[in-house]
Amino acid sequence: MKIITIEEHFSSPKISDKMKQFQPKSNDAEKNKDMQELIKHFLPTNDDIEDVGVRRLKFMDESGIDMQVISYGGGSPQGITDPKIAVELCAEANDELAHLIKQNPTRFAGFAALPVADPVAAAAELERAVKSLGFKGALLAGTFQGKFFDETEFFPIFEKAAELDVPVYLHPGIIEKGVADHYFRNDNWSKLVNGVFPAAGFGWHMDSGIHVIRMILSGVFDKLPNLKLISGHWGEFVPAFLERLDETLYPEITNLKRTISEYYKEHVYITPSGIFSETQLQFAIAQMGADHIIYSGDYPYLIKNETGDFLKNASISEEDKAKIGHLNVEKLLNL
């Protein structure tokens, strides 16, 4: 069975070195000792995340993965606040990834990194990445300077994505320190717990799910009926709460044309991101339908040799396995 995974990451040592010059002087989340514990225990090795060749292909072959759709991982130049530098480094990162993809074009495809400090330039970079580099969409991680992407200033990015008929992957990112401190940290816990709970343990997934709901509430899908979003980790909690959202945020008070769940089930695709749970899979199919589920492994943040076997051995129909494994993403990304 053919399997394509779409939340798979790389980073460039050249870009990382250049970015050190432009990091904000005061970045509490990055400097926080708890976050350093998270980084020390959970980030992949440089050898794994910087390789788009032998190591990655070996894992894919051993795990039954036919293709990865690759995006920039942690430390993306998306986060640079100087618009000029952000534009330059995102373009350089995209060019580098495109070069690596060309070496194995049947095994790799790409999502663009975008300089969101300048949304108009970000839209232009998305167009260049799609039309000139052959990328299949874009990935946006977290928020930017405390702003969610439902803010009107970011509309040109999504307008361009809809025009190009490519999706935007709303990926988790580091959440605001004040939010993390209030909800997810306690002086009585270990540094590692205080690092993981507001991040991969729970916090940034909650934040990312809220991000998708905010996009719906902004009315962006009424304005851009062709826009498609992707949400990882089985939808970052949102699918489990769609009925409640419909009951409490109904069209009469949101001024939207449809219910939250109608927008979500039409415009959002969800992926497992390496959370290989049969219970989650069965619920996702029941709630979303197999047509809106795409496969992902979160390589190399998670390196699970059972990535292919989980789907192949799942207690679902062969038709649904084929949709989730490759048919849905081939249609969505025009692979």
pLDDT in tens, 103-117: 999 999 999 999 999
The arithmetic mean of pLDDT across residues 50-67, rounded, is 97
pLDDT higher than threshold 90 for residue 23: no
State the catalytic residue, choosing from 34, 118, 207, 298: 298
CATH number of domain containing 104: 3.20.20.140
Q: What is the pLDDT of residues 146-157, one digit of tens each?
A: 999 999 999 999
Question: What is the domain count for the chain?
Answer: 1
Domain hosting 298: range is 4-333
Strands (E), 180-327: 229-231, 268-270
pLDDT in tens, 39-51: 666 788 899 999 9
Q: What is the pTM of this model?
A: 0.95
Average pLDDT over residues 222-229: 98
Give percent above pLDDT 90 in the chain: 91
Three-class DSSP category at 186? coil
Contact 202, 263 (CB under 8 A): no
| pLDDT for 35 beyond 70 | no
- Give me the sheet containing 4-10, strands edge to edge: 4-10, 67-72, 108-110
Mean of pLDDT values over 242-265: 98
- Looking at the chain, how many residues does it have? 335
CA 158, 164, 170, 175 torsion: positive or negative?
A: negative
Q: Is 298 a catalytic residue?
A: yes
**Residues 283-301, mean pLDDT to the nearest whole number:** 97
pLDDT score of 26: 45
Q: Residue 22's pLDDT band (boundaries 50, 70, 90)? A: confident
Tell me what pLDDT residue 21 has.
Answer: 80
Q: What is the mean pLDDT of the chain?
A: 94
